[in-house]
Structure 1
Amino acid sequence: MIKHTIAPIYDKNSRILILGSFPSVKSREQQFFYGHKQNRFWKVLAGILGYEVPQTIEEKKEMLLANHIAVWDVIQSCEIEGSSDASIHEVIPNDLSEILATADIRAIYTNGGKAFELYDKYIYPVNGIKAQKLPSTSPANAGYSLERLKEAWMEIVKTLIM
């Protein structure tokens, strides 16, 4: 069983919560979200928010919090082979209640289908808040170009403006 050891990023001003499935091997090594160089998460967010792509963990946190975005994952611990979402089993979900009690979360988005599927199965029955699925920023989602991802992820900016 592999345990999630990266703390969620959020504060009382967070309005949007983005949930991945479980940190990749690279993310677990770096102890921060979306650590694999080929993952397009930071490029997509920086692109839709009008930022330079953040390089350091501190810059990434600053960009998220300045834009009222919280980030965490659906899974607290699981069995997983490498970084493959398809291999995930024996899931124990994260408890989102502290984030939801602290921040005024107006929308929850999942980064990809597996995160959405796991959210729907384990977390939605507990909190009753529907999540919206965004296309995965993972390099495994080769069908989506960076531009196509940015287009789909603009949904977040629309929510922030409301």
Structure 2
Amino acid sequence: MVEARVSSFAPVVDERARVLILGSMPGIASLSAQEYYAHPRNAFWPIMGTLFQFDVTLGYSARLEKLKASGVALWDVLQQCERDGSLDSSIVTSSQQLNSFAAFFQAYPGIQAVFCNGNKAYQEFTREAQRLKTEDSRFEALHIQSLPSTSPAHASMTFEKKLIEWRSLLLFL
């Protein structure tokens, strides 16, 4: 198989951010739509709509504004990688380029917690945060937590169970 080189989106963030939600890399549906979590069966937007009490049928920019107004930022751990398809397990590890977290957290010092959407995002971000702790003490105090993937590929957990786990981010808002 030939892997395609894919790139993530710019972060969705403003000065109100207190929580950062990190994915690994947008899937094919998201890349095609140029929207975070665009796959119709991804539970991300229904979970966010429930947590922050907004209609998930709102347009994409309105949903992003609802998140920002609630103190939530979105981004991905990876800036670029090679991958065949949408699954994290298809990412070629040697091709991974991480986003610049040192500059990001310097620009948005109000972020106190990072919630990772799935294991791949958690593994890669915690490794990078460990490295950054030697350069910036802010990474020592940062709360980092893995949450169940909202991807339709993670169908072994019900929406209700995912929602219960995702409620933990409300403690930081």
Asked if Structure 1 and Structure 2 have the same fold, meaning a TM-score greater than 0.5 normalized by the shorter chain, the answer is yes
Contact 1:93-1:123 at 8 Å conserved across structures: no
Kindly report which structure 2 residues correspond to 1:14-33, keeping only aligned pairs within 5 A, or say none.
14-33=17-36
If you compute each CA radius of gyration, which structure gives the higher value, 1 or 2?
2
More off after superposition, 61-70 vs 115-124? 115-124
Q: Which runs of 5+ in 1 are unaligned?
A: none
Would you say how many aligned residue pairs link Structure 1 and Structure 2? Answer: 160
Q: Deviations over 1:53-109 (max 9, x none)?
A: 144221121111110100000001111111010011221101123331222101011
Q: Which amino acid aligns with 2:121?
A: A
Secondary structure of the structure 2 residue equivalent to 1:37: coil
Show the counterpart of 1:145.
158
Q: Give the equivalent residue in structure 1 for 2:81.
A: 78
Asked if 2 retains the 8 angstrom alpha-carbon contact of 1:124 and 1:130, the reply is: no
* Distance in 2 (alpha carbons) for counterparts of 1:3 and 1:116: 20
1:52 matched residue in structure 2: 55
State yes or no: 1:95 paired with 2:95.
no
5+ long unaligned stretches in structure 2: 134-138
Q: CA deviation at 1:130?
A: 5.2
Give the Cα separation in 1 of the matches to 2:90 and 2:164. Answer: 29
> Is the 2:9–2:76 contact (alpha carbons within 8 Å) kept by the matching residues of 1?
no
1 CA distance for matches of 2:129 and 2:28? Answer: 24
- TM-score normalised to the size of structure 2? 0.86
**Amino-acid identity (%):** 32
- Relative to the length of structure 1, the TM-score reads 0.91
